[in-house]
Structure 1
Amino acid sequence: MGLPQKQSESVNQIKQEKIVKDLMKPLEFFSTVSADTTVKNAVYILNNSSANDRTATHLLVFENKTLIGIVGTRELLSAIEPPNINPEQWYRGWNLAAWTRPVFLRGLFTSRCLEIADKTVRDIIRPITTTLNESCSLSEAAYQLYKSNRNALPVVGNGLVIGLLRGIDLVGEIGHIMEK
């Protein structure tokens, strides 16, 4: 007696499900910069990478031949975020940061961009604390991307970083699965 048709189709789909290695982009797909590169130069490189291939959305940041971070939209927007009240500032037992928003003045965007132009990318990246193994499941990859609040994570194979898995790669796979 065999499995019902619907259940055997599900088993087949599970066996055919891709893994991280199938969706990741290899390191060669991305431009790389030194941790000492200025943000201005990094933005220039990122813009030119995007002009040639709209999917090259991140720069890999290396120091001493080791990947230490990724610069993408999230990191750049975070770097120009308007200043706010210090989250540690309290008044009569109330945390003021929870009750206020940054001030959004015209010209602030330009001002913040110019302020960070000469900083190094080291100053704006978040350290990499999570990596994905090339053979891990897509559900684990989705969980790790969400949990780490990142748009991309490095993929490791044989102890070396071999690529990058981006959230947009997973969204593409979701679309592919739903088209079936």
Structure 2
Amino acid sequence: MSKIRILMVDDEERFRTVTATILGRKGFETLVAENGEQALEKLKESPDVVVLDVRMGTMDGHKTLREIKKTHPHLPVIMLTGHGAMPSAEQALEEGAFDYLAKPCDIDLLAAKIQSAVRSGSPRSKEEKSVREVMVPVENYTSIPVDCTVRDAIEALERERNEFVATDRLMAIGHSSVLVSGKSGELVGIISPRNLIQAIRPAYLTAPKPSMAETLQYSTMFWKGLFNSRAREIMSLSVSEIMSERPPHVDVSANLMEVAERMTCDRCRRVAVMEEGKLIGIIREQDLFYEIAAIISNS
């Protein structure tokens, strides 16, 4: 299956670079242009969708949009700006834009809008997407060995995030979970924000309370500073002590309803995707949410 080709048009170099890199990791092919004139030239490379900044130099986004529609009337264009206002949004939609998003924009939402834009003009728009199309490829995740500490997991995640520092106009939320691998490289668990939050709670809070009246240790008035001290205490723990178990899995040939059923029955927020016994991706609950939203929006 060929990659969706995006034309990213923005006069801010850092934004173009960061966005192109992150979208590339999500499986898109991204062309870049720094102004409207370059964008019109790049149309020769047949992009599937255009992501267009409104406020640029001599040819702003609205003028560029009108020029695009003259020669490529069916090419979907998503307007993206840090200077969003309702009149500008209404103007963009009247001029033929597929959608209008204000910066900062969640990168997952932007990716979902791009998928929706492509499907809106595709003969496959009525077809259901495959598990492979919805999942996050496993190579997009940070992975650490099971014998690492919580500090190691946090540092690995921070290194990856620093590689793709978000600009003030893009929220590159990415994947806040870390995959934990066994000695043979197999997935054995996941460290998520929920695991860290659960781990910092003192043991006495998770143990059965005494049958008599509440003791002072349960009073929140004595908890000041406890959050910081517990966060420092857990950093030396092994990830195996706090991680969630390996999520349930489906085969890559499964359909999305199978994934929804697995998440519901197993009360999990992620499902591993396997192909010939090998982990190739993770489907998160937000991935299904954005797919549901896209289907409803296009109906």
TM range (shorter): 0.7 to 0.9
8 Å contact from structure 1 (residues 33, 61) kept in 2: yes
The alpha-carbon distance between structure 1 residues 106 and 73, as it changes in their structure 2 partners (threshold 3 A), is: same
Q: Hey, what does 1:36 align to over in structure 2?
A: 147
Q: CA RMSD in A?
A: 2.9
8 Å contact from structure 1 (residues 69, 126) kept in 2: yes
In the alignment, the residues of structure 2 paired with residue 85 and residue 162 of structure 1 have an alpha-carbon distance, to the nearest angstrom, of 36
Shifted more, 77-86 versus 156-165: the winner is 77-86
Q: CA shift at 1:22, angstroms?
A: 1.5
- Superposed, 1:44-55 pairs within 5 Å as 44-51=155-162, 52=164, 53-55=172-174
Instruction: With a CA cutoff of 8 Å and minimum separation of 6, indicate the structure with the bigger relative contact order.
Output: 1
Q: CA shift at 1:145, angstroms?
A: 2.2
Is the radius of gyration larger for structure 1 or structure 2? 2
Q: Hey, what does 1:153 align to over in structure 2?
A: 271
8 Å contact from structure 1 (residues 32, 59) kept in 2: yes
Normalising to structure 2: TM-score of the pair?
A: 0.48
Q: Hey, what does 1:66 align to over in structure 2?
A: 186
The alpha-carbon distance between structure 1 residues 119 and 14, as it changes in their structure 2 partners (threshold 3 A), is: same
The alpha-carbon distance between structure 1 residues 148 and 111, as it changes in their structure 2 partners (threshold 3 A), is: farther
- Superposed, 1:86-105 pairs within 5 Å as 86-87=207-208, 91=211, 103-104=219-220, 105=223
Q: Hey, what does 2:175 align to over in structure 1?
A: 56
Give, as a single letter, the amino acid of the residue that structure 2 aligns with 1:81: R
Shifted more, 135-144 versus 114-123: the winner is 135-144
Q: String of CA shifts for 1:39-72, please: whole Å, max 9, x gaps.
A: 0121122233345242222211111111101111
Q: Hey, what does 2:14 align to over in structure 1?
A: none
In the alignment, the residues of structure 1 paired with residue 265 and residue 157 of structure 2 have an alpha-carbon distance, to the nearest angstrom, of 26
The alpha-carbon distance between structure 1 residues 156 and 85, as it changes in their structure 2 partners (threshold 3 A), is: closer
SS at structure 2 position matched to 1:146: helix
Give, as a single letter, the amino acid of the residue that structure 1 aligns with 2:270: A
8 Å contact from structure 1 (residues 156, 163) kept in 2: yes
Q: Which sections of structure 2, spanning at least 5 residues, go unmatched?
A: 1-122, 165-171
8 Å contact from structure 1 (residues 152, 167) kept in 2: yes
8 Å contact from structure 1 (residues 33, 59) kept in 2: yes
Across the two proteins, how many residue pairs are aligned to each other? 162
The alpha-carbon distance between structure 1 residues 178 and 15, as it changes in their structure 2 partners (threshold 3 A), is: closer
Normalising to structure 1: TM-score of the pair?
A: 0.76
Q: Which sections of structure 1, spanning at least 5 residues, go unmatched?
A: 1-11, 97-101
